[in-house]
Amino acid sequence: MIFNSSRALELLRLSTGNPHAVFRESQEEAIRFLVEGRGRLLVVQKTGWGKSLVYFIATKMLRETPPLARANGPAILVSPLLALMRNQIQAAERIGVRALTINSENEDEWDRIERTIRHDEVDILLISPERLANERFRTQVLARIASNVSLLVIDEAHCISDWGHDFRPHYRLLERIAKALPQNVCLLATTATANDRVVDDLANVLGPNLQIQRGDLNRPSLKLQTIYLPAPVDRLAWLAEHVQQLSGSGIIYTLTIRDAVQVADWLKSRGLNVEAYTSETGDRRPELEQALLENRVKALVATTALGMGYDKPDLAFVIHYQTPGSVVHYYQQVGRAGRAIHAAYGVLLSGEEEKDINDYFIESAFPTRPEVETVVSALENSPDGLSVNDIMARINLTKGRIQKTLDLLSLESPAPVLKLGTRWQLTAAKLSEGFWQRANRLTELRRAEQKQMQDYVRLRSGHMEFLIRALDGNVENLTQPNLPDLSSAPDQLMVREALQFLRRVNLPIEPRLTWPVGGMPVHAVKGKIAPSHQAAPGKALCTWRGAGWGELVRKDKFAVGRFDENLLLACERLIREWNPTVEWVTCIPSLRHPDLVPDFARRLAERLGLPFEVALVKTGDRPEQKTMANSILQARNIDGALAIANGPIPSGPVLLVDDMVDSRWTITVASWLLRSNGSGKVFPFALALT
C-alpha cells in the first residue's frame, strides 16, 4: 500500500486535537513501515513518545480502503491491562478507528462483538495475552480472521521476554503465533522499557528480520528524588504534608492492595481528595481513571493495576510509597508523570517493609520443584483429570500456587498438562530441565534488580542518569527541570497523628456464606450456610505485625504471654464505637495457648460490663490453621475440632473473641455451633488479621 504522508499528518492532528501538531522523531517512519507492509518492527521509545499513535494511525490507513475492495482485515492489539485497554479505545475513537475489546470483564458482550467482527465492522480488536489461551476465542474469533489480519500489535512487548521486568506467562503464546505468521503480515512490538538484553531476546523471539527502532530515554521534565523513611508512619506523615502542596494531580504507587487502601484512607482523613485504585476496585476503575484524567481527584493511590500505558499527559507527580522491585518497573511507573508539561516530580519513598514484600514477589514467581511434583502426583492418581478445587482438597498448596503451577506447565512446549473444560490432565510430555534453568536464571536476575534499586535509593543526585544507564540508554546531555528538592523530614506532629490514625483504623471480618467444596463431613453440612447460622460481620483491631498495633500483638503473644493493657483499652474503644448489640462474651479455645485468649476476653468483658462464658472447647489437637495452605484444607482442619462446652448457652447475642483470624473457618464453625445451640447473633472480634 502507498503511504500518504499528508493523510498521516491529518490523522495525527485529529488524534491530538492540535491543528499544528507534527510527528516526533521516528514516528512517521514507523507508521510508513507498517502501512507499506515492510515486515516486523520493534519500537523502543520512552513513555509519552506516542507509540499508540503509530499503530492507531497505521490501522486507520490500512483500513481506509472501501469495504468491497478491502484486502486488509482488522488489526489485533495484545495489551496487558484493562486500564490500558480502556485508555487505548478512547484514543482510537478520536481518529475514527473502530476499536473493541474481548476480555474477562465483558463476557455478556462477547456474542455481539463476535458478530461485529464477522461483519468486518471492527478495525482493531484489543485482547489480553490470556485470551490467546481461551479455546472459544481461538476457534470462534481468531480462526475466522487469522488469514486476513492486517497488523498484529504487541504492546508492552518486554512481557514476552524471559528477561523482561514483568513477565506474563501467556505472552509466551505470542512467540508461537509470531513464528507461525505468514511473512507478509506486519507485526509491531512496542515498549518503553527494554534494555539491551531484552531487545536481543525480542529479536530472537519475534524474528526473523525484526527491525529495531530505539529512541532517547531521557525525561527532561522529571525532577527525581529519593527519600528513606523506614517507618510507615513517617511516610504517611510526609505524604499528608507534601501531596497537598504539590500542584496538579498525580499517582501514589504502593506495593500492596492493603497499603493502597490504608494510604488513601489516611489522606482522606486529612482532607485530601484521593481514591484507592487496585485490582479489587472493580467496576469503579473506569470512573476513577476518568476522574484523574479530568483532575477531579488530587491523586489515585494505586498498585500496578494502574500502570503500563495509562496516559494522562499533564500528570504533575508520581510518588512511590515503597521501592519497586526493579529499575524497569520504576522507570515505567514514574514515567507516567510530566509527559506534556515542563516540570513534574518523581519521588521515591523507601521503607523497611519493602524488602520482605519484594522478596515475596520474587520467591512466588515460579513454582518450586516440590510444588510441581505434588501437583503432578495428584493428577497421576486421577486419570480422568481434576479441577483446581479437586486438587486443593488433595494437596496442601494455596489455590494461587496450584493455578500458577498449572498455567506455567501448560505453556511449556511440549506441555506436561492440558486443560479440558474445567479439568486438568497430564499429557505424555515431561517437564524439561530448561524450565528450571529459566526459573533459576530469572530469580537471580530479580535479586540483582532488587539490589540495583537499593543502590538507586541511596543516591543523592544523578537519578535520571542512573536509570538510563541501567536501561542501556544514552546519558549525554541530560537535563532536569528547575524544581526544588522536597523536604525529606516529616513533621513530627503529623507523625504522631499518623500513628493515632493507624491505631484507630480497624478492619472488617466478612462472614463466610457457604461451606467449602465437598462440605464438612464431621458436622454433616454443605452448600450455603443458613443465614440464621452465619457469623455476623465482625471487626479486627489491626493486621498481624502491621503498623499501629500489629507488632505489639505479635510481641505480647509470643514474647510476653499476655496481651498489654493498651491493647485492651484500644479494643474497648473500638467495640464501643462499633457498638454491636451483644449481651455476653465468649472466646475461641486453644490447646497451645490455653490461657492467652480467655484471659484477654475476660478482661475485655469486664471493661464492657458484660458476663464472660466458656462456651466452646477443643475436642483434640489439630495442626495450626496457618499450616494449612488453602481454604478447603483449612475448613477440613477445623471440622469437628470445636464443640460446645458443658452447660447451657446464653440465648442473647454474643461477642466471639480470638487473637488472630486467618482463614475465617474457625469463627465460621464456632458461630455455627453457637447458633445451632441457641445463642443469638455472633459478632466475631479479633486482635489481628493475618
DSSP symbols for 356-423: HHHHHHHHTSS--HHHHHHHHHHHHT-TT-B-HHHHHHHSSS-HHHHHHHHHHHHTSSS-SEEEETTE
Task: Tell me how far apart the alpha carbons of residues 336 and 393 are, in angstroms, rounded to a whole number.
Answer: 44
pLDDT value at residue 545: 86
Low-confidence stretches of the chain (pLDDT < 70) are: 65-71, 81-85, 163-168, 183, 307-309
- pLDDT the model gives residue 69: 43
Q: In what order do the strands lie in the sheet with 210-214?
A: 99-102, 124-127, 75-78, 151-154, 186-191, 40-44, 210-214
Q: Residue 537 is which amino acid?
A: P
Model confidence over 461-510: pLDDT tens digits? Answer: 999 999 999 999 989 989 899 999 999 999 999 999 999 999 988 899 99
Q: Which CA distances in Å does 181 have to 118, 155, 555? A: 21, 17, 60
Fold match between 222-358+452-490 and 506-689? Answer: yes
Q: What is the pLDDT of residue 68?
A: 46
Q: Specify the pLDDT at position 222.
A: 96
Q: Are 255 and 358 in contact (CB under 8 A)?
A: yes
**What gap in Å lies between CA 597 and CA 568, rounded to an integer?**
12
Closest of 560, 547, 651, 633 to residue 599, by C-alpha: 560
CATH no. for 367-437: 1.10.10.10
Q: What is the pLDDT of residue 307?
A: 66
Task: Check: CB of residue 126 under 8 Å from CB of residue 88.
Answer: yes
Rounded CA separation 136/134 (Å): 6
CATH, range 506-689 = 3.40.50.2020
Q: Rounded distance, CA 251 to CA 273, Å?
A: 12
Tell me how far apart the alpha carbons of residues 292 and 285 are, in angstroms, rounded to a whole number. Answer: 11
Q: In angstroms, rounded to a whole number, what is the distance separating the alpha carbons of residues 2 and 233?
A: 61
Cα 549 to Cα 237, 264, 558, distances in angstroms: 17, 19, 15
Separation of alpha carbons 85 and 368, rounded Å: 33
Q: Where are the domains of the chain?
A: 5-214, 222-358+452-490, 367-437, 506-689
Q: How confident is the model at residue 397, as a pLDDT?
A: 96
Phi/psi zone of residue 338: left (φ > 0), alpha (ψ -120 to 50 degrees), beta? Answer: left
Considering the four listed CATH numbers 1.10.3720.10, 3.40.50.300, 3.30.980.20, 2.130.10.10, the one that applies to the domain covering 5-214 is: 3.40.50.300
How high is the pLDDT of residue 84?
64
222-358+452-490 falls under which CATH superfamily?
A: P-loop containing nucleotide triphosphate hydrolases (3.40.50.300)
Position 165 scores a pLDDT of 55
